[in-house]
A and B are shown apart, each in its own frame.
Chain A
Amino acid sequence: MRRTEDVLAPAGSTGDRGPVLEVDGLEVSFPSEQGRVQAVRDLSYEVRAGEVLGIVGESGSGKSVSSLAVMGLLPEQAKITGSIRFRGTELLGKPDTELSRIRGRRIAMIFQDPLSALTPVYTVGHQVAEALLVHGGGRVSKRAADRRAVELLDLVGIPNAAARARSYPHEFSGGMRQRAVIAIAIANDPDLIIADEPSTALDVTVQAQVMEVLAKAKEVTGAAIVMITHDLGVVAGIADRVMVTYAGRAVETGDVDELYTRPRMPYTIGLLGSVPRVDTGQRQPLVPIEGQPPSMVDLPPGCPFAPRCPMEIDACHDAEPALARVDGAGVDGAGVDGATGHAAACIRSSEIVAAGTSAAELFGASSAHHTADPDSRDRRPEMLRADGLVKRYPVTKGAVIRRRVGTVHAVDGISFDIRSGETLGLVGESGCGKTTTLMQILELGAPMGGRVEVLGRDIAGLSRGERKALRRDLQVVFQDPMASLDPRLPVSATIAEPMAAHGCSAEHIRRRTAELLDLVGLRPEHASRYPAQFSGGQRQRIGIARALALEPQLLVLDEPVDDVFSGPQHPYTQALLSAVPVPDPAVERTRERIILSGDMPSPADPPSGCRFRTRCQLFTSLPADRRQRCIDEEPPREAARVDGTPRADHEVACHYARVHQVL
């Protein structure tokens, strides 16, 4: 029982390199109407002091459930068996009062969604201080806790921390809230931090900031970290070891370099192939893993990945493959303690020849990713042209008498053109005006400023009928698939709707609906299902099918598409690209990241000159005389020069544009 006292005693006895957390044969199930949901099955792993373990898997693979089990925060109806030992002390079965003395002090957790992770009615400073007070046992004064909270907020990069500590969560951006949550997590110098997709809900630049803060948190506290994510790119640079989970089980674990360079399980290879690579310099097809994870109720015998596995053979269905060593030591099914070595749960792992098998080969990527030839650009017809598009929103105040107190410059003089056969990516951080631009175009109404031409026609002078005709050729797929589908309409009706609105015959609609479902990779029997019965990805496909129904000339997809830029010249583009994680540990560790500091400038009060200058990494490195130009003059968008020659299809708005390879 000496161990128990150790865990509940004040912290400080760190330094030994033994395992901090040992999870052994963990099983978690929930009751449901269909039967018991086996969310976690026979999961074993351990984390040593100062180590970073990455847990990677698709949505629903039991990552969050297993870590909530460690924290003792699962709902009561969850049935948990197995063993969870923290520094040798069994945590499973401990009462909440005892666990609460460990939570936040020895084990801290950072949650998936920062926007809702803080209590709206208390100040951020109060919530950080609370973490100190609750474990202070009366020894920490409120004043001292508040002071320390400010220090912690400062440490995680909240500017002007003393003042911001008095703000409420709604006054913080998503990235700042996640920083505050990290401050809470490190407040008591824990031995273990569990980070459950700490950056998934944030956009790519903030994601990079948060990961940087986490790395710093690890440095400051020396804590072991369990880093949960669905993106192998995110953990490549920070993890020491990685565990890949599928259907509630570990299917491959190993040292980070080993696992990324010599994956031995088709699922891992698939995950690696589905992450966009901004580092390879050339376009590579993304290789999606087709299909859905299995239902966690009544799993059939055999490998749970078999229905989606390109290497599946009859033997795969006989029994579920055990996690076995694949690195030579203790070959042939010898159990792995999860601490060291490379193990995979696949009967054909020995056939997956080291380093040789790429996702593209294995998953038979259809390289249908064809792009328009830049040379013929001038000859192709123009589908859409925006010239100096402007959209401003008034900021008003007062309930009875509204008065205008300012203006939000949501879109301020954007120009671009798209020619037939091209894909134009409108890329930027969240809140930078992408959706506003699209909505302005789709409205087909006269813009507040500037000019929009769709299929060669200025939309300002369109009549009602012309507008309707034009809408047919202009289709949109919205960012949030669920919000744009009617939950009470079956999928077939959703897809048929635009066709019916434009007066197509019933026969045509039926034929076309079947075609479209097939085109976007849905099964014919899906037609009668309702949106709620689909996964997020499938819903997106429904949206695309609907948009394609009228064979539009121009398709607008409101969702950031990661594309590969070969020679980014604008510092903002460079920073955006630099923030995209790469699933290669060697690259991730050595690459120099451009971390954009802070948040977007307020669109109600944009900075003078170049809008980006307040966060520009190039600006800070310029001598004062050259900086002045950025402050005074808004840079015009000009053809980018590559080796001195201007390029027709590449423009940049930066006084000091130059190619900077981010990788």
Chain B
Amino acid sequence: MQGVRRDEYHDGHAAFEECADRLPPPKGRDVTGFLLRRLINYVALCLIATFFAYSAAALTFNPLARYQMRNPPPPPEVIENLRQELRLDEPIPLRFLHWGAGVLQGDFGETITGQPITMELWSRVGVSLRLLLIGTTLGIVLGVALGALGAIRQYRPSDYAGTLFSFVVLSTPVFLLGILLQFAAIKFNDAAGTTVLYFTGETTAGFQGGFGAALLDRLQHLILPTIAIAFTQIALYSRYQRSAMLDVLGSDFLRTAQAKGLTRTRALFKHGLRTALIPMATLFAFGFGLLITGSVFVEEVFAWYGMGEWFVRGVQVEDVNIVATVTLFVAVLILFSGWLSDVLYAALDPRIRL
């Protein structure tokens, strides 16, 4: 505790200020160090998560069963070959290390049908990320807006409408929501007399056309699954934002802001919303995890070939490498979003001391 400053004279009085520098604002370096440490923790966690998924899959899956059950059964040499190729006789940690070494070099191994995973990986990541990123962004922005408005207009019809929306969406399973949306889209397309909203795949198979037309086509495919994803997020965030905002609405500092001449609206946004966002930072990471689970169903329902759909497929065909790869992807995403939450939190709240 150095840096005790003593101002011999202040304002005519001799004033020794022991406390003046008692709590220095956190240094930028401290925050960076903290975030770095967190990052290292997260890398370790990713490894552990993937290892567990890999082990669990390797223990339960029997990829050879499909071949043995074929009629006529393939010759034993083929099966034996496959067993060798898949390294089924080696201990699981060794297999994991082998796979992990490949991952470090950008090679995620092969599927049991012999396709390199890496090839398919990036296109699937692209498909999933498109859905997830747009869904989260919309979810956060609209959820925060809906929640904040609900709090400001508490007990008005708009607030009740928002509450009703949230509860209905939150109590509807995602796959049901997807199916309902498809149903609504059919009605909508009928009414429009042409297909405006597509609900299978992320693009029309064999689509021919210029860049603009292709973009439009993708957009038409994107709308429904994005709504399905975003709705749950909006519903979740708006509830939390509403209550965080209500806490802030009655606060003294909001009154001070108005007393100094800010209009109510301006005070609400600059002082109220800004403060009410702090607890949300932690929630975003949590919400993102939920989102990934939800996206598995959405991808299934809308036949998007993303990571979620791949995972389901991987389990069906008992493919350890696919399961491990998707798990790694999810772990990285979740932990990255957790890290982002920390960054956000540190940025939003000056009170956290690191």
Query: How far is it, in angstroms, between the C-alpha of A59 and the C-alpha of B22 when the chains are bound?
Result: 36
Known contacts A97-B263, A602-B1, A602-B22; is-contact A160 B274 (Cβ 8 Å)? no
Query: How far is it, in angstroms, between the C-alpha of A272 and the C-alpha of B1 when the chains are bound?
Result: 47
Query: How far is it, in angstroms, between the C-alpha of A111 and the C-alpha of B10 when the chains are bound?
Result: 26
Contact A117 B253 (CB under 8 A): yes
Q: Mark B248-278, 1 if CB is under 8 A from A, else 0.
A: 0001111111111111100000010011001
Question: Does A348 count as interface, using CB distance less than 8 angstroms?
Answer: no
A406 surroundings in chain B (CB, below 8 A)? 1
Say how far B19's CB is from chain A's closest CB, in angstroms: 4
Query: How far is it, in angstroms, between the C-alpha of A113 and the C-alpha of B256 when the chains are bound?
Result: 11
Chief secondary structure at chain A's binding surface? loop
A23 surroundings in chain B (CB, below 8 A)? none
B10 surroundings in chain A (CB, below 8 A)? 157, 159, 597
Question: Does B29 count as interface, using CB distance less than 8 angstroms?
Answer: no
Query: How far is it, in angstroms, between the C-alpha of A119 and the C-alpha of B19 when the chains are bound?
Result: 21
Q: Could you say which of A119, A405, A605 contacts B253, with CB atoms under 8 Å apart?
A: A119
Say how far B310's CB is from chain A's closest CB, in angstroms: 37
Question: Does B16 count as interface, using CB distance less than 8 angstroms?
Answer: yes
Of listed A119, A122, A615, A620, residue having the most chain B CB within 10 A: A119
Contact B275 A605 (CB under 8 A): no
Contact A159 B18 (CB under 8 A): no
Question: Does B210 count as interface, using CB distance less than 8 angstroms?
Answer: no
Q: Could you say which of B18, B23, B257, B260 contacts A598, with CB atoms under 8 Å apart?
A: B18
Interface residues of A in 33-67 (CB under 8 A from B): none
Question: Does A419 count as interface, using CB distance less than 8 angstroms?
Answer: no
Query: A621: nearest residue on chain B (CB-CB)?
Result: B14
Contact B351 A96 (CB under 8 A): no
Question: Does B193 count as interface, using CB distance less than 8 angstroms?
Answer: no
Query: How far is it, in angstroms, between the C-alpha of A533 and the C-alpha of B255 when the chains are bound?
Result: 28
Question: Does A120 count as interface, using CB distance less than 8 angstroms?
Answer: yes
Query: How far is it, in angstroms, between the C-alpha of A629 and the C-alpha of B25 when the chains are bound?
Result: 35
Query: How far is it, in angstroms, between the C-alpha of A515 and the C-alpha of B98 when the chains are bound?
Result: 81
Interface residues of A in 590-612 (CB under 8 A from B): 595, 597-602, 604-605, 607
B17 surroundings in chain A (CB, below 8 A)? 159-160, 598-599
Question: Does A545 count as interface, using CB distance less than 8 angstroms?
Answer: no
Query: How far is it, in angstroms, between the C-alpha of A620 and the C-alpha of B275 when the chains are bound?
Result: 43
Interface size on B, residues (CB 8 A): 41
Contact B11 A119 (CB under 8 A): no
Contact B263 A599 (CB under 8 A): no
Query: How far is it, in angstroms, between the C-alpha of A659 and the C-alpha of B261 when the chains are bound?
Result: 50
Known contacts A117-B253, A121-B274, A600-B19; is-contact A134 B259 (Cβ 8 Å)? no
Contact A134 B262 (CB under 8 A): yes
B70 surroundings in chain A (CB, below 8 A)? none
Query: How far is it, in angstroms, between the C-alpha of A345 and the C-alpha of B11 when the chains are bound?
Result: 45
Contact A100 B18 (CB under 8 A): no
Contact B1 A113 (CB under 8 A): no
Known contacts A171-B25, A600-B19; is-contact A157 B252 (Cβ 8 Å)? no
Query: B6: nearest residue on chain A (CB-CB)?
Result: A614
Query: How far is it, in angstroms, between the C-alpha of A187 and the C-alpha of B259 when the chains are bound?
Result: 12
Query: B262: nearest residue on chain A (CB-CB)?
Result: A134
A171 surroundings in chain B (CB, below 8 A)? 22-23, 25
Query: How far is it, in angstroms, between the C-alpha of A263 and the C-alpha of B327 when the chains are bound?
Result: 80
Question: Does B5 count as interface, using CB distance less than 8 angstroms?
Answer: yes
A405 surroundings in chain B (CB, below 8 A)? 1
Known contacts A101-B261, A121-B350, A620-B14; is-contact A605 B256 (Cβ 8 Å)? no
Of listed B19, B21, B255, B262, residue having the most chain A CB within 10 A: B19
Query: How far is it, in angstroms, between the C-alpha of A595 and the C-alpha of B21 when the chains are bound?
Result: 22
B254 surroundings in chain A (CB, below 8 A)? 119
Q: Mark B117-130, 1 if CB is under 8 A from A, else 0.
A: 00000000000000
Question: Does A135 count as interface, using CB distance less than 8 angstroms?
Answer: yes
Q: Mark B220-243, 1 if CB is under 8 A from A, else 0.
A: 000000000000000000000000
Question: Does A477 count as interface, using CB distance less than 8 angstroms?
Answer: no
Q: Could you say which of B20, B258, B259 contacts A164, with CB atoms under 8 Å apart?
A: B20
Query: A104: nearest residue on chain B (CB-CB)?
Result: B261
Contact B7 A159 (CB under 8 A): yes
Contact B4 A605 (CB under 8 A): yes
Say how far A185's CB is from chain B's closest CB, in angstroms: 8
B251 surroundings in chain A (CB, below 8 A)? 116
A615 surroundings in chain B (CB, below 8 A)? 16
Chief secondary structure at chain B's binding surface? loop
Question: Does A109 count as interface, using CB distance less than 8 angstroms?
Answer: yes
Question: Does B15 count as interface, using CB distance less than 8 angstroms?
Answer: yes
Query: A170: nearest residue on chain B (CB-CB)?
Result: B351
Query: B2: nearest residue on chain A (CB-CB)?
Result: A605
Contact A100 B253 (CB under 8 A): no
Say how far B239's CB is from chain A's closest CB, in angstroms: 22
Query: How far is it, in angstroms, between the C-alpha of A539 and the C-alpha of B25 when the chains are bound?
Result: 40
Contact A121 B348 (CB under 8 A): yes
Contact B23 A121 (CB under 8 A): no
B18 surroundings in chain A (CB, below 8 A)? 598-602, 605, 607, 614
Say how far A546's CB is from chain B's closest CB, in angstroms: 32
Q: Could you say which of B7, B15, B256, B348 contacts A181, with CB atoms under 8 Å apart?
A: B256
B27 surroundings in chain A (CB, below 8 A)? none
Say how far B6's CB is from chain A's closest CB, in angstroms: 8
A73 surroundings in chain B (CB, below 8 A)? 255, 258-259
Of listed A112, A113, A598, A615, residue having the most chain B CB within 10 A: A598
Question: Does B107 count as interface, using CB distance less than 8 angstroms?
Answer: no
Query: How far is it, in angstroms, between the C-alpha of A168 and the C-alpha of B262 when the chains are bound?
Result: 20
Interface residues of A in 153-193 (CB under 8 A from B): 154, 157, 159-160, 163-164, 166-168, 170-171, 173, 181, 184, 187-188
Question: Does B66 count as interface, using CB distance less than 8 angstroms?
Answer: no
Say how far B44's CB is from chain A's closest CB, in angstroms: 13
Contact B349 A116 (CB under 8 A): no
B6 surroundings in chain A (CB, below 8 A)? 614
Interface residues of A in 334-351 (CB under 8 A from B): none
Query: How far is it, in angstroms, between the C-alpha of A548 and the C-alpha of B10 when the chains are bound?
Result: 49
A159 surroundings in chain B (CB, below 8 A)? 5, 7, 10, 15, 17, 20
Q: List 12 A-B contacts (CB under 8 A).
A: A104-B261, A118-B253, A119-B257, A119-B275, A120-B349, A120-B350, A121-B348, A127-B256, A168-B25, A598-B15, A600-B18, A604-B1
The 10 A-B residue pairs whose C-beta atoms are closest, nearest first, are A104-B261, A104-B260, A614-B16, A601-B18, A597-B15, A131-B260, A116-B252, A119-B253, A159-B17, A599-B19
Residue numbers of B with Cβ under 8 A of A are 1, 4-7, 10-11, 13-23, 25, 251-264, 271, 274-275, 278, 348-351
Residue numbers of A with Cβ under 8 A of B are 71, 73, 96-97, 100-101, 103-105, 108-109, 111-113, 116-123, 127, 130-131, 134-135, 154, 157, 159-160, 163-164, 166-168, 170-171, 173, 181, 184, 187-188, 405-406, 595, 597-602, 604-605, 607, 614-615, 620
